[in-house]
Structure 1
Amino acid sequence: MSDHQIRQIVLSTDNLDDSIAFYESLGFALKFRDGTHYAALDGGAVTIALATPVDHPLPGKVVVGIKTEDVDAAAAAVEADGGAIVKAPYDDAHERRAVVYDNQGNGLVFYKSLPR
């Protein structure tokens, strides 16, 4: 069994307030919000993430967020299998992540929470 888990879908927005209102009207509850740039809504097993270009890994594209135990190995495997690394593995304030395209140009973000 793979250690990869699809945990979120990241959607682009230019107006976070309007996007949150839209998805809340469809019955998705707001889990948290980070200022005017990012929000997460409860989609059950998969989070619906809304991000402006400031926080979106590939603005204008739908991106699949995949939680994994080894971000570096996942990014290397994508590249070895014909995909491309957009942003090599790096640490931000909360997690290690890598932004990649699969072999068909679809956006993926591999991530793992950093110890607190």
Structure 2
Amino acid sequence: MEAKIGNVLYPVEDVEKAIAFYNVAVGLPLKFQDEARFAALDGGSTTFALAGAEEQVAGRAAAVSFKVPDVVAALREIEAAGGVVVAPAAEGPHEVRAVVQDPWGNAFIVYGPKK
């Protein structure tokens, strides 16, 4: 599987307030916002993503997201390597995504383009 870190996802209760905080406190400029559900801040080579209640696909824990060319194929490889699919591939508003756990129970997200 070929993957790169697409973003680090932080769950927040208020996307607007979180954008303001991370912009002022850390200096991360806004790249993209989908109303109260999601925002992407420019963290350089990795996006710092803020997930509102609708977008908290990995629960309330912070999670890394890996961008892959084919989510279904990536899930097969993850399971073969000892990982567990927590939430199967599903089409979200902007991509196909799934939630998995590594063999130690750490959740992460794999996502890729809609087919």
TM-score, with structure 1 as normaliser: 0.87
Which segment drifts farther, 15-24 or 77-86? 77-86
AA of the residue aligned to 1:9: V
Q: Partner of 1:60 in structure 2? A: 60
Gaps of 5+ in 2: none
What SS does structure 2 have at the residue aligned with 1:110? strand
Give yes or no for the alignment of 1:42 onto 2:42.
yes
Other structure's SS at 1:65 match: strand
**Quick check: 1:16–1:37 contact (8 Å CA) kept in 2?**
yes
Please report the TM-score for the alignment, with normalisation by the length of structure 2. 0.88
Q: Give the 3-state SS of the residue equivalent to 1:54 in structure 2.
A: helix
Instruction: Count matched residues.
Output: 114
Residue 88 of structure 1: CA displacement?
1.0
* In structure 2, C-alpha distance between the alignment counterparts of 1:83 and 1:58, rounded to whole Å: 15
2:90 maps to what in 1? Answer: 90
Identity of aligned residues (%): 36
Report deviation, 1:110.
Answer: 1.1
What residue is the counterpart of 1:31 in the other structure?
31
